[in-house]
Structure 1
Amino acid sequence: MPVFVHGNPATAAVWEPLLAALGRDDVTRLSPPGFGSPLPPGFGATADEYHDWLVAELEAFGEPVDLVGHDLGGSHVVRVAMTRPDLLRSWVSDAVGVFHPDYRWHYLARLWRTPGVGEVDVARRFGGTVADRTAFLVTRGVPADVAARIAPHQNPAMGRAVLAHHRSTTRPTRSPRLAAHRPGLAVVATADNTAGTDVQRWEAAAAAGASVEVLEGLGHWWMVQDPDLAAKALTRFWESVPGSAA
């Protein structure tokens, strides 16, 4: 059973074009707290808390799943592959490169990790009107219909989650090798500059024992830029995983 986890600054709507292309009726989308679902009282939005949240969600399925993650969701996926491979049949992530020992935070992440500067950025990014936020997402490559479903959920709570998550993490402390207990696929969208260099992504994928799917010319929002291509890549990978049909 495929389970999808999105990242920042999105909601589960970001998967809709891809899911339409997959044409399956057994897919589940999970929304991390603050990213399309409420921040529970006392939830600090740290990387460890997101890991524990995802583990609890996966335990509830009662069977191993095919876990797919994008952006921060991709990082959560790799961490679960490292710590709880029993919950997975396979995993897919576009964020494997952030676990490379030489990974350097991308520009926006460096802003968000900086006190004061980060607050100013998220206030601007998640402020304004829904129409403003929709238009901004469109400039970043998100189709207008999908952007219009994401923008209403971009709010101060999402901003707090973005800052807390990025400030709770440090340089990678776990080797990608720990994710090698289950079949993995590293998505390398060549125009995405948030998940490390191409070399870092390939080396981290190799350490994790993961296959690599190169999406030439696609960027951070690869799942909406070419959903048909993405669906074919996922289906091909799932069909290659030993065991029962995906």
Structure 2
Amino acid sequence: MPAVLVHGVPETAELWGPLRARLRRDDVVALRLPGFGRPLPPGFQATKEGYAAWLTEAVAELGGQGPVDLVGHDWGGGLVVRLVSLRPDLVRSWATDAAALADPAYEWHEHARLFQTPGVGEDLLSAMTTLSADDYLAGLRDLGLPLDATDGLTGLDEMMARCILTLYRSAVHVGAEWAPAFVDVGAPGLVIAPAKDAFLPEANTRAAAARAGAHVTELPGAGHWWMLEDPARAAAVLQEFWDGLPA
């Protein structure tokens, strides 16, 4: 019954390193999304449903000993939302900071809208891939990344950029499309709500969590990269949730 961690965009699985080091379990698996530090499988479509189908297959394979504890951040958290909406039988529990993606009232942030705009998105990501690591991280720090954090956030390349564009352009109406199935999820859920997340508004987060029947834990003072800002607190939140699950 492993704990399975799913990173977001533009990130890689190394994002979870500091948090994993503080968890009281040795069965943690950090998945690496196709195109994000790993090749694309043959025929893979980097759409929101393509990634959701990939995650469902990966979790089913990992769950050979029983349902998993699934955790997702950012787009990884959105994919968790979709998986538990359609296949709650694959998980013992789930946790996400991106429940907002299944709220019909959710509106995309400015950067997502730029990615979704033909020509503009290509130009923006092309410019991002040519930045030095220091300049690239400086841009993320302007969005709330902790000053000393680099884990899983320096791997942007042309393949990842193409996947990002395809993913965001498949998800223009994600809230309306995913909300109907994200209701009364039949597995215990934890929705993490960082108070200063610039991309995922708390109102959308709480509204979606209520429809899904999930518990909400607010992280006062925390931003989008809460697992890097305070890995010990992040690990404690997850550990407390897991410790409270039925045996």
Instruction: Give the TM-score of the pair, scaled to structure 1.
Output: 0.91
Q: Which residue of 2 aligns with 1:66?
A: 69
After superposition, the Cα gap between the structure-2 partners of 1:190 and 1:138, relative to the gap in structure 1 and judged at 3 Å, is same
For residues 51-109 of structure 1, what are the alpha-carbon distances to aligned partners after superposition, in whole Å with 9 as ceiling and x for unaligned? 11101111112121000000000000010001111110000000001211111011111
1:108 matched to 2:114:
no
After superposition, the Cα gap between the structure-2 partners of 1:22 and 1:199, relative to the gap in structure 1 and judged at 3 Å, is same
After superposition, the Cα gap between the structure-2 partners of 1:148 and 1:32, relative to the gap in structure 1 and judged at 3 Å, is closer
Instruction: Using the TM superposition, name which of 87-96 and 13-22 deviates more.
Output: 13-22
Per-residue deviation at 1:176? 5.7
Pairwise mapping of residues 114-153 of structure 1 onto structure 2 (< 5 A)? 114-142=117-145, 146-147=149-150, 150-151=153-154, 153=155
Alpha-carbon separation, structure 1, partners of 2:169 and 2:44: 15
Q: Which residue of 2 aligns with 1:191?
A: 196
Pairwise mapping of residues 78-227 of structure 1 onto structure 2 (< 5 A)? 78-142=81-145, 146-147=149-150, 150-151=153-154, 153-169=155-171, 170-171=173-174, 172-174=176-178, 175=180, 177-178=182-183, 180-195=185-200, 197-227=201-231
- The residue type paired with residue 163 of structure 1 is L
CA contact (8 A) 1:89 1:182 kept: yes
Instruction: Classify the secondary structure of the residue corresponding to 1:9.
Output: coil
For residues 127-182 of structure 1, what are the alpha-carbon distances to aligned partners after superposition, in whole Å with 9 as ceiling and x for unaligned? 2233433444455444566526531x210111111100011122422336436111
Alpha-carbon separation, structure 1, partners of 2:197 and 2:127: 23
- The residue type paired with residue 229 of structure 1 is R
CA contact (8 A) 1:21 1:227 kept: yes
For residues 29-55 of structure 1, what are the alpha-carbon distances to aligned partners after superposition, in whole Å with 9 as ceiling and x for unaligned? 001111222223432200111011101
Per-residue deviation at 1:20? 1.2
Q: Which residue of 1 aligns with 2:238?
A: 234
Per-residue deviation at 1:223? 0.3
Per-residue deviation at 1:217? 1.2
Alpha-carbon separation, structure 2, partners of 1:162 and 1:54: 16
Instruction: Classify the secondary structure of the residue corresponding to 1:150.
Output: coil
Per-residue deviation at 1:201? 1.2
Instruction: Give the TM-score of the pair, scaled to structure 2.
Output: 0.91
Per-residue deviation at 1:213? 0.8
Alpha-carbon separation, structure 2, partners of 1:145 and 1:37: 25
- The residue type paired with residue 10 of structure 1 is E
Instruction: Classify the secondary structure of the residue corresponding to 1:163.
Output: helix
CA contact (8 A) 1:138 1:147 kept: no
Structure 2: segments with no counterpart, 5+ residues: none
- The residue type paired with residue 189 of structure 1 is P
Q: CA RMSD in A?
A: 1.8
Q: Which residue of 2 aligns with 1:47?
A: 48
Per-residue deviation at 1:23? 4.1
CA contact (8 A) 1:3 1:67 kept: yes
Structure 1: segments with no counterpart, 5+ residues: none
Instruction: Classify the secondary structure of the residue corresponding to 1:234.
Output: helix
CA contact (8 A) 2:82 2:182 kept: no
CA contact (8 A) 1:75 1:96 kept: yes
